[in-house]
Amino acid sequence: MKKIINDPTTVVDEALAGMASAHADLLRVSLDPMYITRADAPIAGKVALVSGGGSGHEPLHGGFVGAGMLDAACPGAVFTSPTPDQVLAAAQEVDGGAGVLLIVKNYTGDVLNFETAVELADGIEMATVVVDDDVAVKDSTWTAGRRGVGGTVPLEKIAGAAAARGDDLASVLSIAQRVVANVRSMGMALTPCTVPHSGEPSFTLADDEMEMGVGIHGEPGRERMKLAPADDIVATLLDSVVGDLPFSSGDKTLLFVNGMGGTPLIELYLAYNSARKYLADKGIEVTRSLVGNYITSLEMQGCSITLLKLDDELTELWDAPVHTAALRWGV
């Protein structure tokens, strides 16, 4: 195992200390319990958004804390859910009196621990939205139902914009649920990743193999296949994504090609080009785009493709100003 670390047991703590120093104008970091908040939180009268999950998926979620997106994020250990006390403390820290929306990826531990935090909360109005956009599986040992993956990023951005414009909790929840209903994703891997404390790859692949439908923790996908050209890889992913909602000719969409951590941008943009051609052939219009490493799996080589059906309001909220460590425009 080759990693730029000091001690496998202190990776998250040291990374958060670095993040706090690098983005002191945007963020505050608490280490006990562990959570990240906006530097200007709480904001009186604004619905607060709190998300979180295991570390190792950076910039998700801490990189999306800031104006126009999340108010707080709760990082667990690598690939491990945050605890209820983290979620509760973060919610208490950022509550501005208008309620808190919890954004939860559909993994058993995340769902259980966020639910427990809601049960423990006293005097804070809370609502929860669960992201379950991964079309690769219906069930796995990590989740009851579909996993929450790339769709989490546009959800946090769009719901964050709704909260920033002054929507109440019920309205922000409704918009978040609309995103969940209209977003689908699927990923693939060329290589495994190695969790620091284990020191061993999470799975094995031969040099000429790829895993289609892999999860962001290295969970098994739909099928192990021989390595193929980019056009074929993208078509396999999009066949499942487009056919699931389904997306139709004339739809306006956000196309998000995400890197798993170890894939260079030149390959991600090449995959994006393949996806644009695939969607154009089906009459599906791409009106907004995002390409890069936004929800990763440590150093895994691979990518995921997320497609979100847009309407005028969702487009307006996507375009709204955002100022975070990892996503920034309009400011």
Q: Looking at the annotation, which residues are catalytic?
A: 57, 217
Contact predicate 154/144, CB 8 Å: no
Query: How far is it, in rounded angstroms, from Cα 294 to Cα 281?
Result: 27
Query: How far is it, in rounded angstroms, from Cα 263 to Cα 290?
Result: 15
**Both tokens of residue 7?**
């001690």
In this structure, what are the phi and psi dihedrals at residue 231, rounded to the nearest 5 degrees? -60, -40
Helix (H) or strand (E) holding 313: helix 312-319
Q: At what angle do helices 230-244 and 265-281 cross, to 10 degrees?
A: 50
> DSSP string covering 112-173, please?
HHHHHHHHH--S--EEEEEE--B-S-S-BTTBSSSPP-TTHHHHHHHHHHHHHTT--HHHHH
**Both tokens of residue 24?**
């002191």
Q: From the DSSP assignment, how many helices (H) and strands (E) are in the chain?
A: 8, 15
What single DSSP character describes residue 178? H
Q: Are strands 126-131 and 183-189 parallel, antiparallel or unpaired?
A: unpaired
